[in-house]
Amino acid sequence: MKFKQYLVVLPGITLAFVLYTLSQGFNNIIGIELLGYEKSPISTAMIAILLGILFGNIFQIRESFLKGLDFTQRHILKIGIICLGIQLKPFEFLEFGAIAFPLIIICIISVLIVIKLLIKKLKIPTRMAYLISIGSTVCGSTAILATAPVIGAKKNEVSYAIANITLFGILSMLIYPYFADFYFESEPLLIGLFLGTSIHETSQVAAAGLIYDQQFNSPETLNIATVTKLIRNTFLIIMIPLFAFLYNRGKTTEKKYSIVDIFPYFVLGFVGMIIIRNLGDLMYSNNYNWLIAVESIQLSSKIFLTMAMAAIGLSTNLKEIKNMGYKPFVVGFIGMLTVGIVCITTIEIYLIYFN
């Protein structure tokens, strides 16, 4: 990015950071000053996205802020997720990664079957159903934007599908951390698997994990949820060619796609940060500067993720969502419920037979 382009995105990034700071201030006032806790039991990330939605729908966001807000959602979010890798040990990654893989496959297949049946019942456009399907099962709007060209989706279909995923992703992001803590009795592994599998967007999973961490003091849950979601993201490599084949079979022309273009490279950065942490622990286990560096990166990850939540809230237009009709939202709602129920059922079966 050239220097002038940095200047263009700076106002939006600054706005997201200001909203993060404001959220942290509200959090301290409510949790510490008013409720009297030593550490606030309220999540800064939750306050940030709710304030973002409130301000974004009361005030007209100036165009000068939009590019920076988009940059925050797309790139600063990924930097935050990469920084999360500093918290993990390699064996932890392999342990719950092995459990997450079959769980993700079962959830993907189940949602695809359910949505396929709903297409016929509700008679919504096939392209839109495909977009909602891949957005619900893989990685939200990123999957939608990557799939749209290979099935020839129209711009309004893409916008509708993204609005669908955004709405139900935000709902699940705000509700699931508390539901999961109650249902899974505060077990970090099970809660992390559930959050990472049942919530749509990478940003929403990271936020839900962060909310849970801040609410229940469980960084392990945040780690597990993030790893599970990053494994889900890699399924783009399989799902987009599959959707291209299913949609274009029997047609004379097929849309082209590139695995290089759709691969989520920040996953590699996340794994690289895990390696750096563990090499650093081996070489500088009791070194004060190394410990400070690790703590600084951990803090940075939470700041970046909360800024991304604020940016997403500011960019969420509730009026547009309201004006888009109900049928595809019925599909999205049922898709959200399906992936949640299937995830819970699969985890319960795992506990019966393998625990």
pLDDT digits over 14-32, tens only? Answer: 999 999 999 888 888 877 7
204-231 exposure pattern, b = at least 16 Cβ within 10 A, e = fewer: bbbbbbbbbbbbbebbbbbbbbbbbbbb
- Catalogue the E-assigned strands of the chain: none
pLDDT digits over 296-311, tens only? Answer: 998 898 899 889 888 8
CB 335 within 8 A of CB 132: yes
Sign of the CA dihedral running 141, 339, 164, 191: negative
pLDDT value at position 187? Answer: 92
Tell me which of 11-25, 203-217, 241-255, 310-324 is least confident.
241-255
pLDDT digits over 69-127, tens only? Answer: 989 888 888 888 888 888 776 566 666 777 888 888 888 888 888 877 877 777 777 78
Domain boundaries, the chain: 3-354
The span from the CA of 17 to the CA of 39, in Å, is: 22
Which residue type is seen at 8? V
For the cut 60, the answer to whether the pLDDT of residue 255 exceeds it is no
Q: Please, how many CA atoms are within 13 Å of residue 287, restricted to the half-sphere of its CB?
A: 12
For the cut 70, the answer to whether the pLDDT of residue 355 exceeds it is no
CB 47 within 8 A of CB 27: yes
Please compute the mean of the pLDDT values over residues 323-327 and round it to a whole number.
69
Please compute the mean of the pLDDT values over residues 347-353 and round it to a whole number.
84
Q: Please, how many CA atoms are within 13 Å of residue 100, restricted to the half-sphere of its CB?
A: 29
Q: Give the chain's mean pLDDT.
A: 81
For the cut 90, the answer to whether the pLDDT of residue 181 exceeds it is yes
**14: buried, middle or exposed (CB in 10 Å: 19+, 13-18, 0-12)?**
middle
